[in-house]
Amino acid sequence: MEIIVYDTETAECEFFGRQYKRDSPLRRDNHAVQNINQTLDSLVRNMHEILVESGGVGLAAPQVGVNLTLFLARIGDEVTTFINPVITHRYGRQKNWEGCLSLPQIAVEVQRAKRIIIEWYDIEGKFHSRKFSNENAMILQHEYDHLQGRLIIDNYPQRTTATIKDTV
């Protein structure tokens, strides 16, 4: 299992001003998790390992080629698993430079809600509803977007606004 890198050169093309997205797991519909079983457990373990190794702050299932509504996010010191999450409320605004493990070397300034309320199930099947703010809210909205097939390069009407930042 590895991180799927979204190739902006070949995965998208512009034609007569309209953007056509070619097939990629990152753009497909994602299905709700129906059963928390051993298969799901090992998927979460694998994703956890990838997230830690990559040093990222979040990883969504479509990023590893699995089209389920599930993501992992680093909240504080802990990695939390969000199964079938739903953002029910969004308050305020914040703007941050964001990167994505599937879009290496690209950073985009994205505007998001400053605070959110999100509902989800954990790996034991327990339901949670919590408020998150600032950086945590940003991470969760980024991962949530992956479950809708949305990437940070979509946040502006023109792709040219995506800026490639020098990374050392």
Residue 143 annotated among the catalytic residues of the structure: yes
DSSP string, 122-142: -TT--EEEEEEEHHHHHHHHH
Least Å from the CB of residue 81 to Zn ion: 16
The Cα–Cα gap between 44 and 71 comes to 9
Site string for Zn ion, 107-146 (x = CB under 5 A): ----------------------------------------
Task: Return the percent helix, strand and coil in the chain, to nearest 5.
Answer: 25, 35, 40
The Cα–Cα gap between 116 and 124 comes to 23
Using CB under 5 A as the binding criterion, the count of chain residues that bind Zn ion stands at 1
Least Å from the CB of residue 145 to Zn ion: 8
* Residue 100 found at the interface with Zn ion (CB under 5 A): yes
Angle, CA of 125, 131 and 135, to the nearest 5°: 110
- 104 vs 125, beta carbon nearer Zn ion: 104
Q: What is the DSSP letter of 14?
A: E
The Cα–Cα gap between 3 and 108 comes to 19
- 83 vs 100, beta carbon nearer Zn ion: 100
Least Å from the CB of residue 151 to Zn ion: 7
- 46 vs 155, beta carbon nearer Zn ion: 155
- 73 vs 113, beta carbon nearer Zn ion: 73
Contact status, residue 138 vs residue 116, Cβ threshold 8 Å = no
Least Å from the CB of residue 43 to Zn ion: 17
Site for Zn ion, rule CB under 5 A = 100
Residues designated as active site: 143
